[in-house]
Structure 1
Amino acid sequence: MSAGFSSCALDAQDRLIAQAYIADTPLQAHIEVTDAPRDIGQSMLTHVAVTPLAPPEQPAVEPQKQAHAQPSFDAVIVTPSTQLPEGAVVGTQWTAWIRVSASRERASEPVSVAVLSQPVAESTAPTGFTSWVRGNLQRIGEEWGGDGGALIPGLIVGDRSSQSVELAASMVVSGLSHLTAVSGANVAAMVLVVSSLCRLLRIRGVMLYVVILTVIIVFAHIVGPDPSVLRACITGAVGAFAVTVGRPAASIALLALAATTLLLVDPWMLSAAAFQLSVLATFGILVGSRPIASLLQRIKFPRLFAEVTAVSAAATIACTPVLVVLDPEQSLWVIPINVLGSPAAALIGLAAPIVMILGWIPWPWGWPLAASVGFPAQAITVLAQFSAENAPTHRWPDMPWGFLLAASLSWVLPATLLVLAQRMRPGQLRTFITEMRLRLEQRPRAKIHHQTSHHQTTHDRQTHRQRTHHLQTPQRKIAVITLSGLITVVLALLALSFTRSPASTTDEVKPGDILFCDVGQGDALALIGEQNSALLIDVGAEPELIDDCLTRAGVTKLCGVVITHLDLDHVGGIEGALSNRQLDGEVIYGTSKRPPPVEGARRATQGENMTCGAWDVEVIWAPRTAHTENGASVVTRARLWNGDAFDIELIDTGDLESEQAQLMLQTYELNETHPSVRVLKVAHHGSATGGTQLIEEWSPDIALIGVGADNDYGHPRQEILEALYRAKVSVHRTDLEGTLVVRPLSESEGSVQDADEDTNPGGGAEVLHERAPAGSISE
């Protein structure tokens, strides 16, 4: 029986309801999809509403007798597609067995939810207006085809279910993923379109607000009344009110009231990045959209097009400092790409209401309708893919300097330029320069004509003041703002001079790190020692991949190499690992009957030890009579020594199979004399043949899975993931996150990665990843 896992970010009421159902025993629940399921490789991610069919600590009863009888709570589940009803969309409902358990200590989620079965009752497909609109958008996207078509439902109603993993990753890397999330900026753009149409139809006053409120309610119903959607509707409506009515001061007060109200409902929202970004995006719209729209209209942009473009640009600029804090590794093209994508997003915003209403028109008569959103969507796709493939990346400084630098460039500098542009009316810059020249010339002239009468001098000064009075206030403001802008630029350049720009956070390894290289379908792990040294455990299949990973990490010396067994995906990259590096130790390996991988290599012996810096590595299992290559896998146990405690302890099992793992556990005692953060390299890329004995016996804190994206083996298997999730293990996969680095934390930094303070006095660990997991886009 396989299971999916959910980390539930719940509001205050949901927390109390969900925690009441924490128990080891399964229960039946009614589940309803509230957001479009997204493909994230081997699993699907979706938001659901969970309604238990029995009170807490009572056995479940027949679904038809107790459906909807208990209070529900929201959850986000990650589950195999086989666990979802076929063709599940927003509104799909079914009944299944689930388990609710407590989250790891210090996790932001109060509970974890596992789906333990396929549907036990016939699922109900959604009907009504919502399903009709979403179905039309999906059909338009399919008929348009390509990545542009897959993007259409997301750009209009936030439905990302049609996007491939590659497209979703390109949108994230390029900084355009917010266009396919239901954000305040999206809602504001939609409201602007509706208000403009109302102006054309001469709908004003109270009736205008009634129409706008109705549109927002209908939109929230179509997208799904998720907390993030409701938050986006509230903040977006505030932003649209500012742009439409033209009273930014009142709108800022309204935004403050809306944010305070949301925090009173759920104080936990304050720590959520999505809430911070929504408020910032709306604030950016309030203070920046009108000046930007005015500039665009000066260069002959149509009013509505200028307003929608300005909304997107202002929101992007306002959110940049927080995005830098969330992920210091940013593309240098984020703001330009967003500005370039704003017109395309504006065109889609203009056409969206019509497309949602008339999307039922069949092909080919509906082609002009599809083209109105298809061509802009295709343009956004091209921008995202071009930026993801070619844009240089930049590593912003750590807090607080990264935030201050981003705020200077994204907030202070644009504000300075906008004020200057507004103050400088046509010809005023020339007049300002002339006036400054006259003032400089006036001082020596006063010395030459010192015999001039007092009356004449006074008269001249009065005349001069009258002539320049209308310029004095703007000139002073311009001078102050210009000086501020120059100081900002100087500070930014100084901060940039102290900033490095590595290709990713995983490139800068430190002694004591575990480097888990992304080598596709294979394993390659390095224990980092002192002075650019490392001890390797497996090297993947491709020499180029392991060589590139070690080169980027700066590894030039090898303390030794352990090849767990001689299958290609573990030994094929050996030449790439050894080339251009000094080998100071031996190459040892495990095998059933194959010849040595390189000259001078020897078979590993159980009980032997190797060291690399602070790492102490022991071969704890080296079978000599295995009949299969996987069964002959060498098992290593590595310990990072730190005074009187181990910071990190690693067990690497190669492709060890379940029977050999059981035999190893019977002959080798996993006794623990020192507390540590336990890291498990999961056997056989998460295959079911690796078994779950070591997970249950050793209770790791972090699990690493080396697996290729979209592999043909079905790795990792769901039963292995279920066992890890059930044991509260933090799971990290190279197919979703790229190269990984497990880094020990000092005592002062605390145990932030699944470590308990009472059992880990040596500190905790953090996991750095090369790229964000697909499906983890903040909304």
Structure 2
Amino acid sequence: MVPVAAGAVVAAAIATAGHRTWWAVLAAISLCMGLLALLRGHVAVTIVALVTVTVAVTAGARQEALHHTGVGALSEQRAMTTARVIITGDCRVVAAKGPRPQLAFLPARTVQVTTRGRVISQRAAITLSGNDTDQLCHTAVGQHVEVTGRLTPVKPTDSQAGRIAVKNLTALTQANWLDARVNHIRDALVQACRFSQQRQRALVPSLVVGDTAAVDSQMSEEFKATALTHLMAVSGANLASTMALLWWSGSWLGLRRGWLRVMSVLGVVLFVLICRSEPSVMRAAAMGIVALSAAGVSFDRSAGIRSLAVAMTILAFADPWLVRSIGFWLSVAATAGILWWSTRWVKVMQWATQPVAMALVVPWAAQLATQPLVTSLSHSVSVTGLLANLAAAPFVGPATILGMSAAIAASLWVPLGVPAGWLAGWCVQPVLWIAHVGATAPAGQLQWPVTPLALGVLAGICLGLAWITPWVLRRWWATILALIGVVLASIIRPPVPGWPGEWQVVVCDVGQGSATLVNAGHGAAVLIDAGPEPQPLHDCVADLHVNQIPLVVLSHYHADHVGGIDAVLTGFGVNQAIVSDLDSPVTTAKELQNHMSEHGIEVSHAAPGEIRTVGEATVEVLDSPLIEAEGAGSGESSKENDSSVLVRASSGGLRALVTGDIEPGGQQAAMRRHPDLGCDVLVMPHHGSARQDRRFWTATGARLAVASAGLDNSYGHPSAKALNLARELGMQTMRTDRDGSIAIHSSGDSLVTRGTHGAMG
């Protein structure tokens, strides 16, 4: 079955690649190979070819119909449209970030589309989007609505025909009986958890039915850092727990095995309905069924792999776009790892009970199987992931069972489900603690390059660890030592060879933000901006063995430049702070100034021409224009960006120009007021955005341009325009999202650079 699954998956991937002829070519080649194999009596090859042809033709036809006819064709015209649609999923809100406003996204399916005098009746998946979250998010799945807005195209590989930027939305009819009941059950779960703590109320619906509406960004980041994100969405483990509840209930009622199997089938259907029949839910259900079926054939791993291949084939046929999702391959890899390794590993742990052995080997097998894929996305290896999953595993099953029980009971009468909902909340509380503690572990994540060679090395390491795992698990003392080693590895940060070396300026890797340290000698430094969060800045300062920061400069009050200031306010002897002339956003500025004053720090506004000396470091304020804020100053604006304090910092003969977020207007004004912008290192304005002034960059004469930006950030920083501009002006370029924290040292006429990810120059 594995070759059959491979053929189906390849066919689905090619058919949905956006190339209109590729799937036809593949189908023709597969058909010829199938006929040739049939004539020669190769039945297995014939079956593979037949499945490949079938998936290629059906998926190709669906891709053609979706993107090149009807709604898909209209989306290319970007016309104003009036459409009658059915809501098919829950609203997802993306918080405002910088100049981008808050947006809501709502999945839907078209019934009828009217544009430019044309009326098209077609059922095609689309996304509704808009700034009015109240309007979009107060709809119900299954409801018929009429929307007016601009229809825009999506990527050719997308599983949707287009997107409508909604201007107006009118409800037409309510959801049908089935959708209304599902909505009621999901809402009942939320009501059943109303007496739980806020984070418990957020996690229980997320874990049980995939309702992430109440999950905040900090919680998401903590779960991501500890490899627990699968607990914030529907997974195969949820299905297994639901099946366990049904089997226990059926056995208690005295049902025989045949009826229990019928109940299991109904349970799968109920699970998919309640969790929404979205692609991710279908994938989770399929993988959960595979795991359950494998457990029912005497733990035969070959049978389990065959079941997995069947599931992959069915999914590729049912939803060919699914194979282009990284979630699909993570599920496949995790399931394959569990099926292939866990049975043998459990058997060698004769010194432990089976539940204990399963609790240990299942997350370990899943992590080894998925780590190269996870690292390709995160550029890191989660050391705490194994420990977090081991610690959280005992609480997932009870929380799922109690949560599902609460949902069903509360759908009949809300008070009936409250006790189970409250208990489910306390079942997930340890998971919340585990995620929080794991996310703050000093060495919780190790940076790893994502070149093909590096990922190949990582895959080899994972296979090597899988090879020696049985030897370790067979011996209780070796297992305990291994666990102790993992714990220590998550606590003790290993040094990066050769880093920082000699340094005069370090641009810290703080994610999507900015923080620069200037060496003042004898363990002291000047800090310019503090990044978005305390932990990354704390790690950078600790790695440099800096113990005194007498002076802090904050270019402006945006969160990505001041959010991490708490990392240094205590224990580093900060006594002076220079801040922007523009106290905007007003609330942030006042709170931060008061916060620093409470720590005994003298806060002063920047004065152009001001020079401060701290040990071997000199800080010169080149520009800090006093700009009148627009309105109350509650969010990011160009005026706030252009109010950034422009600082030239020097240490040991190395000069670095730290520019905050100044945009072209601010760059031009700075040149007029202070023509001498000469420096060796330019910290790119606004994280290397596309909004740059060439004359400003030329005036700096910098030899190195550094972009301080977060990995895979939504802004596209650093932009290709900024990187190309640096190269055109003969500047070397480095970026924190790929190179990590960057240490810079002047050696004669050359600059020596080292990154924590291994880059050197």
TM-score normalised per structure 1: 0.57
TM-aligned CA distance change 1:257 to 1:743, over 3 Å = same
CA distance in 2, matches of 1:326, 1:230: 23
TM-aligned CA distance change 1:97 to 1:280, over 3 Å = same
| Equivalence for 1:376 | 427
SS in 1 for 2:195: helix
SS in 2 for 1:742: coil
> What one-letter code is carried by the residue in structure 1 that aligns with 2:305?
I
| Equivalence for 1:124 | 174
Q: Paired residue for 1:25, among 55, 62, 79? A: 79
SS in 1 for 2:145: strand
CA distance in 2, matches of 1:420, 1:344: 26
1:178, CA displacement in angstroms?
A: 0.8
SS in 2 for 1:387: helix
Q: Paired residue for 2:113, among 30, 54, 57? A: 54
Does the CA contact (< 8 Å) of 2:130 and 2:167 recur in 1?
Answer: no
Question: Is 1:336 aligned to 2:387, yes or no?
Answer: yes
TM-aligned CA distance change 1:544 to 1:172, over 3 Å = closer
> What one-letter code is carried by the residue in structure 1 that aligns with 2:372?
P
Question: Is 1:387 aligned to 2:444, yes or no?
Answer: no
Question: Is 1:142 aligned to 2:201, yes or no?
Answer: no
1:398, CA displacement in angstroms?
A: 0.6
1:249, CA displacement in angstroms?
A: 0.5
Worse-superposed segment, 266-275 or 359-368: 359-368
Worse-superposed segment, 367-376 or 275-284: 367-376
CA distance in 1, matches of 2:194, 2:220: 17
Listed one character per residue, the Cα deviations across residues 271-309 of structure 1 (whole Å, up to 9, x for unaligned) are 42211111112112312444566678964466xx97688
SS in 2 for 1:54: strand
TM-aligned CA distance change 1:671 to 1:46, over 3 Å = closer
| Equivalence for 2:136 | 84
Equivalent runs, 1:100-249 vs 2, <5 Å: 100-102=151-153, 113-122=163-172, 124=174, 127-128=177-178, 129-191=181-243, 194=246, 203-204=256-257, 210-245=262-297, 246-249=299-302
TM-aligned CA distance change 1:310 to 1:367, over 3 Å = farther
1:91, CA displacement in angstroms?
A: 3.6
TM-aligned CA distance change 1:396 to 1:518, over 3 Å = closer
Equivalent runs, 1:295-334 vs 2, <5 Å: 299-300=352-353, 314-329=365-380, 331-334=382-385
1:172, CA displacement in angstroms?
A: 2.6
Question: Is 1:280 aligned to 2:315, yes or no?
Answer: no
CA distance in 2, matches of 1:23, 1:763: 42
Listed one character per residue, the Cα deviations across residues 52-111 of structure 1 (whole Å, up to 9, x for unaligned) are 6326x54477xxxx8xx322214374744223253x45444422223232458x997987
Listed one character per residue, the Cα deviations across residues 200-246 of structure 1 (whole Å, up to 9, x for unaligned) are 756446x6654433322221121112122222222221122112332
Equivalent runs, 1:460-539 vs 2, <5 Å: 504=510, 518=531, 538-539=555-556
SS in 1 for 2:296: helix
1:334, CA displacement in angstroms?
A: 1.6
Q: Paired residue for 1:259, among 303, 312, 315? A: 312
| Equivalence for 2:624 | 589
TM-aligned CA distance change 1:753 to 1:591, over 3 Å = closer
1:134, CA displacement in angstroms?
A: 1.0
Does the CA contact (< 8 Å) of 2:709 and 2:718 recur in 1?
Answer: no
SS in 2 for 1:100: strand
> What one-letter code is carried by the residue in structure 2 that aligns with 1:70?
Q
1:392, CA displacement in angstroms?
A: 3.4
> What one-letter code is carried by the residue in structure 1 that aligns with 2:555?
D
Question: Is 1:37 aligned to 2:54, yes or no?
Answer: no
SS in 2 for 1:340: helix
Aligned length: 580
Does the CA contact (< 8 Å) of 2:126 and 2:162 recur in 1?
Answer: no
SS in 2 for 1:53: strand
Does the CA contact (< 8 Å) of 1:99 and 1:115 recur in 2?
Answer: yes
Does the CA contact (< 8 Å) of 1:280 and 1:319 recur in 2?
Answer: yes
SS in 2 for 1:369: helix
Equivalent runs, 1:407-486 vs 2, <5 Å: 407=459, 412-414=464-466, 416-418=468-470, 421=473
> What one-letter code is carried by the residue in structure 1 that aligns with 2:327?
A
> What one-letter code is carried by the residue in structure 2 that aligns with 1:222?
I
Q: Paired residue for 1:742, among 713, 717, 738? A: 717
SS in 1 for 2:123: coil
| Larger Rg over CA atoms | 1
1:754, CA displacement in angstroms?
A: 13
CA distance in 1, matches of 2:658, 2:399: 59
CA distance in 2, matches of 1:33, 1:171: 29
1:262, CA displacement in angstroms?
A: 3.6
1:132, CA displacement in angstroms?
A: 2.8
> What one-letter code is carried by the residue in structure 2 that aligns with 1:119?
L
| Equivalence for 1:449 | none
| Equivalence for 2:549 | none
Of all paired residues, the percent bearing the same amino acid is 18
TM-aligned CA distance change 1:621 to 1:204, over 3 Å = closer
RMSD: 6.5
> What one-letter code is carried by the residue in structure 2 that aligns with 1:394?
Q
Does the CA contact (< 8 Å) of 1:619 and 1:635 recur in 2?
Answer: no
Does the CA contact (< 8 Å) of 2:182 and 2:273 recur in 1?
Answer: yes
TM-aligned CA distance change 1:620 to 1:671, over 3 Å = closer
Does the CA contact (< 8 Å) of 1:563 and 1:589 recur in 2?
Answer: yes
Worse-superposed segment, 323-332 or 539-548: 539-548
Listed one character per residue, the Cα deviations across residues 137-179 of structure 1 (whole Å, up to 9, x for unaligned) are 1111213343223221111111112333433333333322211
Worse-superposed segment, 357-366 or 115-124: 357-366
TM-aligned CA distance change 1:537 to 1:743, over 3 Å = farther
TM-aligned CA distance change 1:651 to 1:399, over 3 Å = closer
CA distance in 2, matches of 1:49, 1:752: 36
CA distance in 1, matches of 2:165, 2:583: 37
| Equivalence for 2:28 | none
TM-aligned CA distance change 1:616 to 1:497, over 3 Å = closer
TM-aligned CA distance change 1:240 to 1:267, over 3 Å = same
Listed one character per residue, the Cα deviations across residues 298-343 of structure 1 (whole Å, up to 9, x for unaligned) are 64466xx976886556434533332222113455322101111000
> What one-letter code is carried by the residue in structure 2 that aligns with 1:369?
A
SS in 1 for 2:273: helix
CA distance in 1, matches of 2:664, 2:217: 39
CA distance in 1, matches of 2:248, 2:183: 27
Does the CA contact (< 8 Å) of 1:325 and 1:402 recur in 2?
Answer: no
Q: Using CA pairs under 8 Å that are at least 6 residues apart, name the structure with larger relative contact order, 1 or 2.
A: 1
SS in 1 for 2:212: coil
CA distance in 1, matches of 2:116, 2:311: 40
SS in 2 for 1:49: strand
Listed one character per residue, the Cα deviations across residues 739-761 of structure 1 (whole Å, up to 9, x for unaligned) are xx9336xxxxxx599999xx999
SS in 2 for 1:539: coil
1:420, CA displacement in angstroms?
A: 5.8
Equivalent runs, 1:326-365 vs 2, <5 Å: 326-329=377-380, 331-351=382-402, 354-360=405-411, 362=413
CA distance in 2, matches of 1:252, 1:397: 30
CA distance in 2, matches of 1:369, 1:266: 36
SS in 1 for 2:149: strand
CA distance in 2, matches of 1:295, 1:74: 51
